[in-house]
């Protein structure tokens, strides 16, 4: 397929990418169309009385595919929200869930609002009213449609939503599972806030376990010392940058934010920069790097890995010629337009696609939903039993070593580390790591074995499409 002449819309971009992949399958035409289309989009306009005035808000909940239920996807609060965007995001949720074997269909919601325009108590009223409109039509429901945070929303909004649902469904014993990304004290799970960023880290770690794949991007070695430019220091970008720099030794040489960027070839301290943003509301004046007014130009800096973790369309036909990174890791949804994607592939740039890279959020959402339905924290039953068993083993070995004349036995540090049973956070991380590794392996197998699959995005779509098609076939539509 040739590069589009004009910049496609987000929805068109997702379709173009999907079409490139599905063309390589022998799925019957009718089923291809069924998998591509968005099943339904509900638009709601509701009024809320605030500041002695009735304000009307417009919101959406789009369901892309119900081959598995519940359907899953975040709710975004932003002025840019529109039907086209919500539908594109819902489609991505379908493919994302299938790729990482999370048993959900795809959905997405959005409210056209600038959260910064409103006080907290006003936002609560607006969120609750939106939740009411969705819940009464079963578009928030533990068995049918389970929202989560997205841009402009977080734990706070999810707590309001679950409470609103409970008020409307007082006898639903599974009410907590109607939404994920809740605070721990409202039925959330340890590790959900950091999950998407953690998933980005695990995705890169897994790629770097395969030197042949790293070579395809013209890189070599491990993550240590790799120069990373991060676009966006929101929840996803912040956690990804923090973990990659603090735990893997990568250098964050550039950060692009909405009001400017920071560059530093020796690496930026993400904790210090975040602290500065929290204190001053801006990256301006940060002492740990050079301030760049034109934030978009930071994406064009020379680096090893570029991680767009902000909005869709940030790498487009307007700036693609100036992008210099050999490896792009799509932490945001849809950050590379179909036109830019075509151009980058033409230049041999390797792109780790969004439906894989940012799947950590929905993966841990799945764990949270399971936790809510089982009404028990992960690890609660087995942790101490595991510890007791481990302690027995350690004591025995320690005794034998001493008997054999090794007077020191096992070190105290080893004993402590080994004995410790896994709590919820450790289990969540282990489940997420396993998910990201397995999904990468399913993509790379196709990427490395099929001549007609030139890139990871097509490989990712092929894995997903295959599973969705199987789902529809066994269901009989």
Q: Which residues are catalytic?
A: 108
In the complex, least distance from residue 438 CB atom to ligand GLU, rounded to whole angstroms? 18
Q: How far apart are CA 319 and CA 314, in angstroms?
A: 9
Smallest distance from ligand GLU to CB 365, Å: 3
Please say which residue, 234 or 289, places its beta carbon nearer to ligand GLU.
Answer: 234
DSSP percent split of the chain into helix, strand, coil, nearest 5: 50, 15, 35
User: 316 or 333, CB closer to ligand GLU?
Assistant: 333
Based on CB atoms, which residue is closest to ligand GLU, 72 or 128?
72
| Closest approach of ligand GLU to the CB of residue 89, in Å | 7
Half-sphere exposure of 378 (CA within 13 A, CB side): 22
Query: How many whole angstroms from its chain centre is CA 385?
Result: 34
Q: How far is the CB of 293 from ligand GLU (least distance, A)?
A: 30
Report the length, in residues, of the chain: 477
Upper half-sphere CA count for residue 263 (Cβ side, 13 Å) = 15
CB of 449 to ligand GLU, least distance (A): 28
Instruction: Give me 239's structure tokens.
Output: 């956690």
Examine residue 17 and say whether the peptide bond preceding it is cis (omega within 30 degrees of 0).
Answer: no
CB of 368 to ligand GLU, least distance (A): 8
Contact 57, 126 (CB under 8 A): yes
DSSP codes joined into one string, 222-276: -STT-EEEEE--SHHHHHHHHHHHHTT--EEEEEEETTEEEE-TT---HHHHHHH
CB of 389 vs ligand GLU, minimal distance in Å: 34
Look up residue 434 and give its two tokens: 């396993």
The CA-atom distances, in angstroms, between 16 and each of 103, 272, 341 are: 25, 40, 10
Are the CB atoms for 212 and 448 separated by under 8 Å?
yes
Closer CB to ligand GLU, 134 or 217, in the complex: 134
- Cβ-proximal residues to 347 (8 Å cutoff; 6+ apart), any chain: none
d(CA 359, CA 95): 10
Indicate the residue among 251 and 362 with the shorter CB distance to ligand GLU.
362
**C-beta closer to ligand GLU: residue 94 or 269:** 94
Distance separating alpha carbons of residues 470 and 477, to the nearest angstrom: 10
d(CA 239, CA 225): 18
CB closest to ligand GLU, residue no: 74
Query: What's phi and psi for 105, nearest 5 deg?
Result: -85, 180
Phi/psi at 399 (nearest 5 deg)? -60, -45
Contact (Cβ atoms closer than 8 angstroms) between residue 315 and residue 300: no
Nearer to ligand GLU among residue 323 and residue 443 (C-beta): 443
Write down the least CB distance from residue 239 to ligand GLU, Å: 13
Contact 463, 442 (CB under 8 A): yes
Number of H helices, E strands in the chain: 17, 13
Closest CA to 199 of 157, 243, 163: 243
Q: Could you give the 3-state DSSP secondary structure of residue 218?
A: coil
We find the least distance from the C-beta atom of residue 63 to ligand GLU, in angstroms, to be 13
Residues binding ligand GLU (CB under 6 A):
72-74, 148, 150, 180, 333, 358, 361-362, 365
What CA–CA distances, in Å, run from 1 to 64, 289, 319, 345, 474? 24, 42, 21, 12, 31
């Amino acid at each position: 397929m040739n590069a589009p002449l004009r910049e496609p819309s987000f929805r068109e971009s997702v379709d173009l990418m999907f079409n490139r992949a599905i063309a390589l399958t022998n799925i019957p035409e009718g089923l291809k169309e069924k998998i591509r289309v968005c099943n339904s989009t509900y638009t709601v306009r509701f009024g809320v009385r605030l500041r002695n005035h009735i304000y009307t808000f417009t919101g959406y909940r789009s369901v892309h595919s119900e081959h598995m239920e519940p359907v899953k996807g975040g709710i975004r609060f932003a002025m840019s929200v529109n039907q086209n965007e919500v539908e594109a995001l819902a489609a991505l949720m379908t493919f994302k869930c299938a790729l990482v074997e999370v048993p959900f269909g795809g959905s997405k919601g959005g409210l056209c609002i600038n959260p910064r325009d409103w006080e907290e108590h006003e936002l609560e009223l607006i969120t609750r009213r939106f939740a009411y409109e969705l819940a009464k039509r079963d578009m928030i429901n533990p068995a049918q449609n389970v929202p989560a945070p997205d841009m402009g929303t977080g734990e706070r909004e999810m707590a309001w939503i679950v409470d609103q649902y409970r008020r409307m469904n007082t006898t639903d014993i599974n009410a907590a599972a109607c939404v994920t990304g809740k605070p721990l004290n409202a039925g959330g799970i340890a590790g959900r806030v950091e999950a998407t960023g953690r998933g980005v880290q695990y995705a890169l770690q897994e790629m770097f376990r395969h030197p042949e794949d790293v070579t395809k991007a013209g890189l070599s070695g491990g993550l240590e010392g790799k120069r990373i430019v991060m676009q966006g220091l929101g929840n996803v970008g912040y956690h990804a940058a923090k973990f990659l720099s603090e735990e893997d030794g990568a250098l964050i040489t550039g950060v692009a934010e909405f009001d400017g960027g920071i560059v530093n070839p020796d690496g930026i301290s993400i904790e210090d920069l975040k602290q500065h943003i929290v204190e001053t509301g801006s990256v301006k004046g940060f002492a740990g790097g050079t301030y760049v007014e034109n934030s978009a130009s930071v994406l064009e800096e020379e680096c090893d890995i570029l991680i767009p973790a902000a909005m869709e369309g940030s790498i487009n036909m307007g700036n693609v010629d100036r992008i210099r990174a050999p490896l792009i890791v799509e932490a945001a949804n849809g950050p590379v337009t179909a036109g830019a994607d075509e151009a980058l592939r033409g230049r041999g740039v390797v792109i780790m696609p969004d439906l894989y890279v940012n799947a950590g959020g929905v993966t841990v959402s799945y764990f949270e939903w399971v936790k809510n339905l089982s009404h028990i924290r992960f690890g609660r039953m087995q942790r101490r039993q595991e510890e007791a068993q481990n302690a027995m083993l350690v004591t025995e070995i320690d005794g034998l070593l001493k008997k054999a004349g090794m007077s020191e036995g096992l070190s105290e540090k080893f004993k402590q580390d080994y004995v410790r049973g896994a709590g919820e956070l450790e289990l969540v991380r282990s489940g997420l790591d396993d998910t990201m590794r397995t999904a990468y392996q399913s993509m790379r197998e196709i990427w490395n074995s099929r001549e007609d699959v030139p890139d990871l995005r097509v490989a990712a779509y092929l894995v997903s499409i295959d599973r969705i098609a199987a789902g529809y076939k066994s269901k009989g539509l």
